[in-house]
Structure 1
Amino acid sequence: MGSAPRMTQPFWQTKTLAEMSSEEWESLCDGCGKCCLLKLEDEDTGEIAYTRLHCRLFDGETCRCADYQNRKKIVEDCVILTPQKVEEIRWMPQTCAYRLVHEGRDLPEWHHLVCGDRERIHAEGHSIRGRTISEDTVFEEDTEDWIVDWEGNEP
């Protein structure tokens, strides 16, 4: 009698963020674009509000950075994610794969590593594709007028 084939678990279920290869790390990004939204922090309460404005390097139609390799050089306050930063950053989206793995939770069924389709996140409305505008099109003093919740609804 032969034994049943051993099922191997996907890397995000067996490795910590720090143990992942650079390829595995990069593949975790689902392309939602929510981390590229401009965020405002209330100085008194520390509450974070998200806007419908995206970074000037973000392409709102493709949900990708226009210059990913040089983003930090071009946008000084761009946050380069690391395992340590994932642990510290309070504004990471609830559905962010980095956050989910860090918290020991599994990826949603629409994540491309689970379903095999990079477009499913957009088709099911879990990304910001087509729902934002560039920060360059709005005066800085008007940023508060663009506050929305994670799903792009008015607060």
Structure 2
Amino acid sequence: MTGDKPFWETKRLDEMTRAEWESLCDGCGKCCLHKLEDEETGELMATNVACRLLDRRTGLCKDYKHRRTFVPECVRLTPRVLREIDWLPSTCAYRLLDEGQPLPDWHPLVSGDPESVHKAGVSVRGWTVSEDEAGDLEHHLVDRQL
């Protein structure tokens, strides 16, 4: 902390250490859900289908360090990449901080409780299926804000 403020309120994303950057992830798991793009409009549509590496109970990757070996299209999020993608959840700490917004009260860095994201109902816990079990993504569209 700088003074009485936590690092996420005093540093730009590109000034954070690797540990600080990684701690911004709230474990919601929503960035690991498959999305479908409407070919005519370009609109992204949410599904309840999670990446095979996502632990749907914790909202964390089962093999984060080696994830790109198993899922080559998995994005390594950086401050630069953050500005190039438009599918991060509206509640994503990286997105919020980049837009100059505060972290929500349920964010684990604010609450001090890693379960707070699940208790607040903003994670993938309880409503998703693994891509290994899902079948056609078109059958898994959901009316949820990501």
TM-score range for the pair, normalised by the shorter chain length: over 0.9
Give me the whole-angstrom Cα distance separating, in 2, the residues matched to 1:15 and 1:87: 17
Can you give the 5+ residue segments of structure 1 that lack an aligned partner in the other structure?
1-5
Letter in 1 for 2:110: V
Deviation at 1:150, TM superposition (A): 3.1
Letter in 2 for 1:148: V
Give me the whole-angstrom Cα distance separating, in 1, the residues matched to 2:134 and 2:140: 9
Larger radius of gyration: 1
Give me the whole-angstrom Cα distance separating, in 2, the residues matched to 1:7 and 1:147: 46
Could you list the runs of 4 or more consecutive aligned residues of structure 1 that deviate by over 6 angstroms after TM superposition? none
Selected match of 1:108 from 90, 104, 111: 104
Deviation at 1:7, TM superposition (A): 4.1
Give me the whole-angstrom Cα distance separating, in 1, the residues matched to 2:16 and 2:7: 8
Q: Which secondary structure does the structure 1 equivalent of 2:40 belong to?
A: coil
Is 1:56 paired with 2:52?
Answer: yes
Give me the whole-angstrom Cα distance separating, in 2, the residues matched to 1:93 and 1:68: 19
- Aligned partner of 1:148 in structure 2 is 142
Deviation at 1:118, TM superposition (A): 0.8
Is 1:137 paired with 2:110?
Answer: no
Selected match of 1:10 from 3, 6, 14: 6
Gap change, CA 1:77 and 1:137, over 3 Å in 2? same
Identity rate, percent: 55
TM-score, length-scaled by structure 2: 0.94
Give me the whole-angstrom Cα distance separating, in 2, the residues matched to 1:97 and 1:79: 16
Give me the whole-angstrom Cα distance separating, in 1, the residues matched to 2:126 and 2:64: 19
Can you give the 5+ residue segments of structure 2 that lack an aligned partner in the other structure?
none
Letter in 2 for 1:54: A
- Aligned partner of 2:92 in structure 1 is 96
Letter in 1 for 2:139: D
RMSD: 1.5
